[in-house]
């Protein structure tokens, strides 16, 4: 079985490629950097540039499933120009893939796309699942809506569309966790705001396993890629500190202070997403790291 991956050189993509190759899948990956194009057995790179509408059409030959991970990092200051990049890096890339599949003879049966949890309303107590119709009015919520709409169009070609709304991905190789670990290691860790905001998270190994699960089960529809045990920001901060044998002695960092430093991007620190993992659990998916202490023990042994 042949898989085409976008965003294959990112944090999640690199781990997913390893797992797919270990399971004897053939991987095609798209990259905007010609220097990153390899032609190894079972793992071939192809050039594309979604901004310019360029793609090596041979990337689609023999492909059964597309996994769409490409998207600009949301953890950078949100200038108006960068906001546009956050949106277009997700939507233009999906449109380019759609147009390629539409005009080129192919055997694609499924597309699995990354998506975000920002579409859900903020909540401390109410748990939201994939059937939730409510959504919040925020920049990132609108990003998710446009992102998902850009992959939903594959349905008109008779292709199954699966979207994984992904919580905070915990990895010691990048993403949010090392940024949280740095100040705690130095003895200057603190919770954000009230510390009560709920963080729906997932260990990177479980996320990669969920992508493979979605592929092998040929899933379609929307799924929350989050652990069954969301936690508050305060609990997450304290758990990291305990794992590193550090204490939290500073007062919580005020919302206003972070807004002044980070601008609109401070939303990431204070939003509260309390999400259900029941849908994937009911399908038989098993989390290797369902609780935060297990996850931290694995990531910082």
Q: 97-139 pLDDT, tens per residue?
A: 999 999 999 999 999 999 999 999 999 999 999 999 998 889 9
- What residues have CB less than 8 Å from 42, skipping those under 6 apart? 21, 24, 25, 26, 27
Q: Is residue 236 part of a domain?
A: no
Q: What pLDDT does residue 234 have?
A: 97
Q: Is residue 195 part of a domain?
A: no
Q: Is residue 268 part of a domain?
A: no
Q: Is residue 96 part of a domain?
A: yes
The domain tally of the chain equals 1
Q: Is residue 144 part of a domain?
A: yes
Residues 237-275 pLDDT 10s: 999 999 999 999 999 998 888 888 888 888 888 899 999
Q: What pLDDT does residue 261 have?
A: 82
Q: Is residue 119 part of a domain?
A: yes
- What residues have CB less than 8 Å from 117, skipping those under 6 apart? 144, 165, 166, 167, 200, 224, 226, 273, 275
State pTM to two decimals: 0.96
Q: Is residue 194 part of a domain?
A: no
Q: What pLDDT does residue 149 have?
A: 98
Q: Would the pLDDT of 230 be above 90?
A: yes
Q: Is residue 234 part of a domain?
A: no
CATH code: domain of residue 100: 3.40.50.720
Residues 146-178 pLDDT 10s: 999 999 999 999 999 999 999 999 999 999 999
The neighbour count for residue 77, using CB atoms within 10 Å, is 10
* Residues spanned by the domain of 123: 2-167+202-226+276-287
């Amino acid at each position: 079985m042949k898989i085409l991956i976008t965003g294959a050189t990112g944090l999640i993509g690199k781990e997913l490629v390893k797992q797919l190759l270990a399971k004897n899948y053939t991987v095609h990956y798209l990259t905007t950097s010609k220097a990153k194009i390899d032609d190894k057995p079972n793992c071939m790179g192809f050039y594309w540039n979604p901004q310019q509408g360029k793609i090596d059409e041979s990337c689609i030959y023999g492909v059964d499933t597309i996994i769409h991970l490409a998207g600009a990092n949301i953890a950078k200051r949100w200038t108006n120009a960068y906001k546009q990049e956050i949106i277009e890096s997700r939507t233009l890339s999906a449109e380019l893939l759609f147009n390629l599949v539409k005009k080129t003879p192919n055997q694609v049966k499924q597309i699995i796309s990354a998506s975000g949890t920002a579409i859900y309303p903020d909540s401390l107590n109410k748990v939201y699942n994939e059937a939730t119709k409510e959504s919040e009015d925020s920049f990132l919520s609108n990003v998710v809506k446009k992102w998902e709409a850009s992959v939903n169009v594959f349905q008109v070609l008779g292709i199954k569309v699966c979207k994984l709304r992904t919580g905070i991905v915990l990895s010691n190789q990048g993403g949010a966790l090392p940024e949280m670990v740095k100040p705690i290691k130095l003895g200057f860790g603190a919770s954000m705001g009230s510390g009560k905001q709920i963080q729906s998270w997932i260990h990177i190994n479980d996320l990669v396993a969920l992508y493979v699960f979605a592929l092998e089960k040929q899933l379609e529809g929307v799924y929350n890629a989050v652990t069954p045990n969301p936690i508050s920001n305060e609990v997450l901060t304290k758990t990291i500190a305990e794992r590193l044998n550090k204490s939290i002695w500073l007062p919580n960092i005020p919302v206003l202070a972070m807004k002044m430093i980070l601008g609109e991007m401070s939303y990431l620190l204070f939003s509260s997403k309390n999400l259900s993992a029941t849908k994937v659990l009911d399908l038989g998916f098993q989390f290797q790291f369902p609780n935060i202490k297990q996850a931290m023990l694995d990531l910082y042994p």
